[in-house]
Amino acid sequence: MKHETYKKILLYLTIACLLTPFFVDAKTYFPFIIGKATVFRFLVEIMAIIWVLMIVKGETKLKLNNLSKAFLVYALVILISAFLGVNFTWSFFSGNERMEGVFGIWHFILFFLIISSAFDLYDFKTILKTEIGISVLYGFLSLLIYSGGRIGVVSATPRLSGFTGNPSYLGTYFIFNSLLALYFFFEEYELKKKLLNYWLVISFFEALLIFISGTRGGMIGFSLGVLYLLGFLIFSKKAQNYPLLKKISFFVLIAGIIFIGAGFSLKNTFLVKNNFALERLTSISLKDPTGAARILSAKIAFKSFLEKPLFGWGPENYEAAYITNFDPQVIKVLPGDFYFDRAHNKPMEVLATTGIFGLLSYLAIFFFAFRILEKTKKKEGQFLTALVFEAILIGYFVQNIFLFDFHESYLMFFLVLGFISSLSEGGLSYSAHNDKISSQQKKDFTAELTKGFILIVSFCLIFYSLTQFVIKPYFTSRNIISIIRALAKQDNENASKLLRQTLNNAGFLKEDATIGVKKGYSSYSLPTEASKSFVESLLLETINLLNKEPWNYRLLMNKAELEMFASSWDEDKIKEAEKTSQDLVKLAPYFPQTHILLSKVYFLENDLEKAKEEAEKTIVIYPQEPTPYYILGLYYSDKKDNENALKYFVQAAKYGYPFKDKNMILNLANLLAQEKDYQTIVNLYLQAINLDPKDAEMYVHLAAAYGKIHNKEKAIYYAQKAAELNPNFKQASENFIQLIENGEWDKIPD
Q: What is the CATH number for 721?
A: 1.25.40.10
Return the pLDDT at 450: 66
Any domain includes 694: yes
Band of the pLDDT at 524, cuts 50, 70, 90? Answer: confident
Question: For the ranges 57-71, 97-111, 368-382, which has the lowest average pLDDT?
Answer: 57-71
Same domain, 609 and 641: yes
Any domain includes 340: no
Any domain includes 309: no
- Please give the Cα distance from 302 to 108 (Å, whole number): 27
Any domain includes 719: yes
The answer for residues whose C-beta is within 8 angstroms of residue 349's C-beta and 6 or more apart is 301, 318, 342, 343, 404
Write b or e for each residue in 679-708: b if 16 or more Cβ atoms lie within 10 A of its Cβ, otherwise e.
ebbbbbbebbbeeeeebbbbbbbbbbbbbb
3-state helix, strand, coil in the chain (%, to 5): 75, 0, 25
- Please give the Cα distance from 667 to 670 (Å, whole number): 5
Contact in structure between 480 and 495 (CB atoms under 8 Å): no
- Give the distance from CA 263 to its chain's centroid: 30
pTM of the model: 0.90
Phi and psi at residue 636, to the nearest 5°: -70, -25
Same domain, 675 and 649: no
Rounded mean pLDDT of 504-522? Answer: 92
pLDDT at 281 over 90: no
Torsion sign across C-alpha atoms 102, 107, 108, 111 = positive
* Integer CA distances (angstroms), 306 to 299, 325, 351, in order: 11, 11, 10
Question: For residues 214 and 413, which has the higher predicted lDDT (pLDDT)?
Answer: 413
DSSP string, 556-578: HHHHHHHHHHHTTT-THHHHHHH
User: 657, 681, 702 — which closes off a domain?
Assistant: 657
- Please give the Cα distance from 472 to 467 (Å, whole number): 6
- Identify the three-state secondary structure at position 150: strand
Contact in structure between 480 and 513 (CB atoms under 8 Å): yes
Band of the pLDDT at 445, cuts 50, 70, 90? Answer: very low
Return the pLDDT at 430: 39
Same domain, 695 and 735: yes
The answer for residues whose C-beta is within 8 angstroms of residue 647's C-beta and 6 or more apart is 633
Return the pLDDT at 452: 66
Band of the pLDDT at 415, cuts 50, 70, 90? Answer: very high
* 92 exposure class (CB count in 10 Å sphere: 0-12, 13-18, 19+): buried
Same domain, 676 and 748: yes
Same domain, 718 and 740: yes
Same domain, 740 and 680: yes
- Please give the Cα distance from 469 to 112 (Å, whole number): 20
- Provide the CB-side half-sphere exposure for 363 (13 A, CA): 13
CB atoms within 10 A of CB 559: 26
pLDDT at 440 over 60: no
Return the pLDDT at 575: 95
Q: Which H or E run contains 305? A: helix 289-307
* Parent domain of 699: 671-750
Work out how many domains the chain is built from and give that number: 2
Q: How far does the chain reach from its first CA to its final CA, in angstroms?
A: 80
Phi and psi at residue 150, to the nearest 5°: -140, 130
Band of the pLDDT at 448, cuts 50, 70, 90? Answer: low
The answer for residues whose C-beta is within 8 angstroms of residue 180's C-beta and 6 or more apart is 128, 131, 132, 388, 392, 416
Any domain includes 612: yes
- Please give the Cα distance from 582 to 602 (Å, whole number): 11
User: 625, 657, 689 — which closes off a domain?
Assistant: 657
Any domain includes 606: yes
Rounded mean pLDDT of 477-482? Answer: 94
pLDDT at 632 over 70: yes
Any domain includes 316: no
pLDDT at 12 over 70: yes
* 41 exposure class (CB count in 10 Å sphere: 0-12, 13-18, 19+): buried
The per-residue pLDDT for range 315-336, each reduced to its tens digit, is 999 999 999 999 998 888 887 7
Band of the pLDDT at 451, cuts 50, 70, 90? Answer: low
CB atoms within 10 A of CB 254: 10
pLDDT at 3 over 80: no
* 26 exposure class (CB count in 10 Å sphere: 0-12, 13-18, 19+): exposed
Return the pLDDT at 64: 87
User: 627, 657, 687 — which closes off a domain?
Assistant: 657
Q: Which H or E run contains 518? A: helix 510-524
Return the pLDDT at 746: 80
Helix axes 346-377, 289-307, angle to 10 degrees: 90
Cα-Cα-Cα-Cα dihedral of 15, 17, 23, 25, to 10°?
140
pLDDT at 560 over 90: yes
Same domain, 652 and 675: no
**Long-range contacts for 184-190 (Cβ within 8 Å, ≥24 apart)?**
184/128, 184/129, 184/132, 186/384, 186/385, 186/388, 187/384, 187/385, 189/245, 190/381, 190/384
* 467 exposure class (CB count in 10 Å sphere: 0-12, 13-18, 19+): exposed
Return the pLDDT at 444: 47
- Please give the Cα distance from 288 to 116 (Å, whole number): 42
The answer for residues whose C-beta is within 8 angstroms of residue 603's C-beta and 6 or more apart is 611, 631, 634
* Integer CA distances (angstroms), 578 to 139, 184, 555, 610, 679, in order: 51, 63, 15, 11, 37
Rounded mean pLDDT of 97-122? Answer: 95
Any domain includes 47: no
- Please give the Cα distance from 50 to 10 (Å, whole number): 7
- Please give the Cα distance from 65 to 63 (Å, whole number): 6
Same domain, 646 and 698: no
- Please give the Cα distance from 99 to 115 (Å, whole number): 22
Q: Which residues pair with 151 in a beta bridge?
A: 154
Same domain, 687 and 640: no
Band of the pLDDT at 671, cuts 50, 70, 90? Answer: very high
- Please give the Cα distance from 152 to 155 (Å, whole number): 8
Per DSSP, helices labelled H in 100-215 are: 101-118, 121-146, 167-192, 198-212
- Please give the Cα distance from 319 to 218 (Å, whole number): 24
